[in-house]
Amino acid sequence: MRIEPTLSIFARMTALAQEENALNLAQGLMWLPLDPLLLEYTATLASDSAQQQYTSPAGLLSLRETVARLSLHFFQTSYDPEREITITAGATEGLFCAIQALSTVGDEVFIIEPAYDSYRPACQIGGLTPRVLRLDIEPEGIKFPWIALQEQLNPRTRLLLLNFPHNPTGYVLHEQDVRMLEEIVESFPNLYLLVDEAYELLCWEGERRSVRMSELLRSRSVIIGSLGKMMGTTGWRLGHILAPPHLTERIRTVHQFITFCAPSPFQAVAAHYLAEPQRALYFHSMLLERRQLCIDLLQRHTGLEVIPPEGGYFVLVRPPHSQLSDTALAEKLTKEIKVAMIPLSPFYSESYESKWLRLCFARPTEMIREAVARLSQVYPADQSIVHPSE
- pLDDT at residue 3 above 80? no
**DSSP H or E stretch at residue 307:** strand 305-307
Last residue of a domain, one of 277, 301, 320: 277
Percent of the chain at pLDDT above 90?
A: 84
> Does 196 share its domain with 181?
yes
Percent of the chain at pLDDT above 70?
A: 97
Please indicate, yes or no, if residue 189 is contained in any of the structural domains.
yes
**How many domains is the chain built from?**
2
Q: What is the CATH number of the domain that holds 317?
A: 3.90.1150.10
> Does 109 share its domain with 192?
yes
> Does 102 share its domain with 125?
yes
- Contact between 58 and 68 (Cβ < 8 Å): no
pTM tops 0.85, yes or no: yes
- pLDDT at residue 386 above 80? no
Angle between helical axes of 264-273 and 36-45 (0-180°, round to 10): 130
What tens digit of pLDDT does each residue of 347-379 get?
A: 998 778 888 999 999 999 999 999 999 999 999
Amino acid at 65: E
Average pLDDT for residues 183-204, to the nearest whole number? Answer: 96
> Does 267 share its domain with 181?
yes
Helix (H, G, I), strand (E, B) or coil at 261: coil
Query: Residue 4's pLDDT is what?
Result: 60
Please indicate, yes or no, if residue 96 is contained in any of the structural domains.
yes
- Cα 97 from Cα 110, distance rounded (Å): 17
* Alpha-helical regions (H) of the chain: 9-20, 36-45, 61-75, 91-102, 119-125, 146-152, 175-187, 215-219, 227-231, 245-255, 264-273, 284-301, 326-336, 365-378
Domain that holds residue 338: 9-32+283-378
- Cα 13 from Cα 328, distance rounded (Å): 11
